[in-house]
Structure 1
Amino acid sequence: MNIAIAGASGRMGRMLIEAVLNDPDAALAGALDRAGSPQLGEDAGAFLGRHTGVTLTDDVERVMADADCLIDFTRPEGTMAHIEAALRHGTKLVIGTTGMTEAQQDVVRAASEKIGIMFAANMSVGVNVTLKLLEFAARYFSTGYDIEIIEAHHRHKVDAPSGTALAMGEAIAGALGRDLKDCAVYGRHGVTGERDPSTIGFSAIRGGDIVGDHTVLFAGTGERIEITHKSASRVSYAQGALRAARFLAAHGAGLYDMQDVLGLR
């Protein structure tokens, strides 16, 4: 499968390039970077000391024309532009971008009527199995337990709560028959009053080089249960993205997530 990578000079972009280069079933078809990036024109494998013949470019049209699938872990505004180009070229998309508005998510949903899109806040197999565990736990801790989600990421992350934390909240709220928009509480300050037992709380920590830690706390009377996932490396995200690309190769237009890719639906 001919795979292109967006955000190719970033931390996640480089991890994805390395994963594609090491996969015998994939070929690196393009490496997109932002206009004005000092890395434009460099070989995509330079950071590994490898010559690939693929150079970093900001020419979206050229990359889309050569790729079967684009893997995009960039920012919402970049992803919106990539979707427009993907629609023109019929290129499938694996999207791991977080921090999208509802309107931007509507754009993703509309595009999936014409091309195959796998859209997930986190592509780690471990995280997606954890989401299923949370659905199961939430049904049994639906009364008498307060639910809090605590996440920690590196100092460079620009959105909060993380997309993974929100996905966990959605999984729990869905299992409880609630709408996360109505029951989420994002941080607390000052005199807040007693905790509403129907709410799901979120707390975000930013610091250092933390790749991604997520803990869901079910706090009852006399006991508490914690379900935690910790990422030590972005490798799991890259491998999950490649797995998603293989899934899309066998599927047509539609909006999919990692639950579909892993058969957990």
Structure 2
Amino acid sequence: MLQFGVIGHKGRMGRALEAAIADAGHVLAVGIDAGESLAPHAGGCDVLIDFSAPAALADSLAAAREAGKPILVGTTGLEAAHFALLDESAGAVPVLQSGNFSLGVTLLAHLVREAAARLGSDWDIEVLEMHHRMKVDAPSGTAKLLGEAAAAGRGIALADNMESGRHGMTGARKEGAIGFATLRGGTVAGEHSVIFAGSEERLVLSHSAENRMIFARGAVKAAEWLVGQSPGRYTMNDVLGL
């Protein structure tokens, strides 16, 4: 039985995590939200989970380092400075960061990478995603994760080959580009498709999230795995042994 500390406890994912932690037979030892400090409580936890906001990440990582506790980060909308902080913290404690903790999405990303590695650059890649109307970042962390998988399969950098937000006279599609399309509306938990469009044929790899509990259960499974690991950067691929 593990003692969990959750940052972003009152958010949608925080509430789902509380249920998933209980279902797995563990204990939510502390829940932290905006304006509260994790540092005084981190030492009493076995593992920390941050599903809050990018602005809170530095404090969460500092508390994990000070307490010597593993931390799992599911916050999306991260930028280069945040990833540098994750790398720095991984020198002191185990750090697992992902844009999506669904076991199905983790396997989907693996399949996307394999497909991209085997299909030529004449196969166009488009990542399509839809989420509920309240989601604030776009493309989603999962869409970026899938785009990174496709780029890795082709041995290219996503940042140099990403096309998103097309509007107006954009010209012909650049060969080898990885396109993104974002939809928002209703209460959709998460829909993602990666389309490989070749000459006169298409391959579509998709995942549908029916409830955010799949992300919470995956995060708890990953946290269970993370406890006892050596300091370092980990991903969901490590959890599934991919």
Smaller-chain TM-score range?
over 0.9
Counterpart for residue 9 of structure 2? 8
Structure 1: 5+ residue stretches without partners? 36-57
Counterpart for residue 157 of structure 1? 135
Cα offset for 1:249? 1.3
How many pairs are equivalent? 241
Matched residue of 2:85: which SS? helix
Counterpart for residue 34 of structure 1? 34
Q: Does 1:206 align with 2:184?
A: yes
Counterpart for residue 228 of structure 1? 206
Q: Is the 8 A contact 1:87 1:111 kept in 2?
A: yes
The within-5 A match list for 1:97-116 is: 97-116=75-94
Cα offset for 1:262? 0.8
**C-alpha separation in 1, matches of 2:141 and 2:131:** 11
- Scaled by the length of structure 1, the TM-score of the pair is 0.88
Q: Which of 113, 135, 151 is residue 173 of structure 1 equivalent to?
A: 151
**C-alpha separation in 1, matches of 2:150 and 2:37:** 41
Structure with larger RCO (C-alpha < 8 A, sep 6+): 2
Cα offset for 1:224? 1.2
Q: Once the two structures are aligned, what percentage of the paired residues are identical?
A: 38
Matched residue of 2:125: which SS? strand
Q: Is the 8 A contact 2:57 2:82 kept in 1?
A: no
**C-alpha separation in 1, matches of 2:192 and 2:153:** 19
**C-alpha separation in 1, matches of 2:220 and 2:87:** 21
Cα offset for 1:76? 0.7
Q: Is the 8 A contact 1:32 1:63 kept in 2?
A: no
**C-alpha separation in 2, matches of 1:231 and 1:98:** 17
Q: Is the 8 A contact 2:129 2:181 kept in 1?
A: yes
Counterpart for residue 129 of structure 1? 107
**C-alpha separation in 2, matches of 1:86 and 1:216:** 35
- Scaled by the length of structure 2, the TM-score of the pair is 0.96
Give deviations 1:122-178, integer Å, cap 9, x for gaps.
110000000111111112322331111111111111111111111111111111111
Higher-Rg member (1/2):
1
**C-alpha separation in 2, matches of 1:250 and 1:86:** 14
**C-alpha separation in 1, matches of 2:70 and 2:93:** 6
Q: Which of 83, 86, 91 is residue 61 of structure 2 equivalent to?
A: 83
Cα offset for 1:114? 0.1
Counterpart for residue 190 of structure 1? 168
Cα offset for 1:104? 1.0
Q: Is the 8 A contact 1:153 1:212 kept in 2?
A: yes
Cα offset for 1:4? 1.1
One-letter amino acid of the structure 1 residue matched with residue 230 of structure 2: G
**C-alpha separation in 2, matches of 1:252 and 1:29:** 23
Structure 2: 5+ residue stretches without partners? none
Give deviations 1:37-76, integer Å, cap 9, x for gaps.
xxxxxxxxxxxxxxxxxxxxx2312321211211111111
**C-alpha separation in 1, matches of 2:195 and 2:39:** 46
One-letter amino acid of the structure 1 residue matched with residue 190 of structure 2: G
Cα offset for 1:102? 0.5
